[in-house]
Amino acid sequence: MSRIALITGATSGIGKATAEAFANVGIDLILCGRRQDRLNELSVKLSQYVKTTTLLFDVRDYAAVSKAISSLPEDWQAVDILVNNAGNAHGLSAIQDGDVADWDAMIDGNVQGLLYVSKAVIPGMVARGRGHIVNLSSVAGKQTYANGAVYCASKKAVEAISEGMRLDLTQHGIKVTNIAPGAVETEFSLVRFKGDENRAAKVYEGFDPLLAEDIANAVVYAVNAPSRVTIADLTI
C-alpha cells in the first residue's frame, strides 16, 4: 500500500529535493507552496513515478491552510507523512537594528506556519493511529549566532515543538522526527538578503556546503526506518 506525504515549501530547496526523493521510493505526494507554476512543473515531473496533487497556500495564513487541506479529495486525506519544511530567514542584524517586518515573517512562517499545518493534519493521523511528522529545524535551533537572534529563536521553537509533539503523539502511533540542517546551498540566503546575489553567495565561501539532496536523503531514511525505530533528532 503506497503512502501519502504532504510537503510544505515544496517549490524549491529541501522541500523540492524531498519530494523528488520520496517519488523515487514510491511515496505519493501532496505538494504545497505559494508558487503555482513551480508546483505544476514539479507535479508533472514526478507524476511519472507516483500520484501527485498540489495545494496553493501560505503557511502563515491559518484560514488558507485549513481551507486548502480540508479541500483534499477523500482519496488524498489519509496523510501518512507530514514534512514541515516551509520557513524563511529575513535579514541579518543586531537585535537593536532588527526590522519588525522581518521578525514577523520569521516567527509567522517558521513557528505559526508549522503549527497551522500540523493542526490541520494531526487529527487524521490520531484517528488512524499512525503517521510520521518531520519538522525541519536548523543548527540555529541548537546554537544561537550573532545577528540572528530572532531566526535562531524561531528554530529553537521548532525544536521544542518537535519534542512536545513526540511526547503527545507517540501514544497514538505517530512518530516525530526533528532534522536540524547546517548550511545548505539553496535559495535560503537569497531570501534572507532580499535578492542580493553577491551577499548570498558569500555565505558559502570557504567551505563545501550541504546540498538539499543531502537533507532529503536523511528524511527518506527517517520515514523508512522500521516501525520499532524513531529517529527523534538528527543534526546534519
Tell me which residues are annotated as active site.
151
Cα 11 off chain centre by: 11
* SS3 state at 11: coil
Count CB atoms within 10 A of the CB of residue 195: 10
d(CA 203, CA 201): 5
b/e code 109-144 from CB counts within 10 Å (16+ = b): bbbbbbbbbbebbbebbbeeeebbbbbbbbebbeee
Query: How far separated are the first and last CA of the chain, in Å rounded?
Result: 31
CB 188 within 8 A of CB 90: no
Sheet holding 233-235, edge to edge: 52-56, 28-33, 4-7, 81-84, 131-136, 174-180, 233-235
* SS3 state at 88: coil
Cα 177 off chain centre by: 11
Q: Sign of the CA dihedral 223, 226, 227, 231?
A: negative
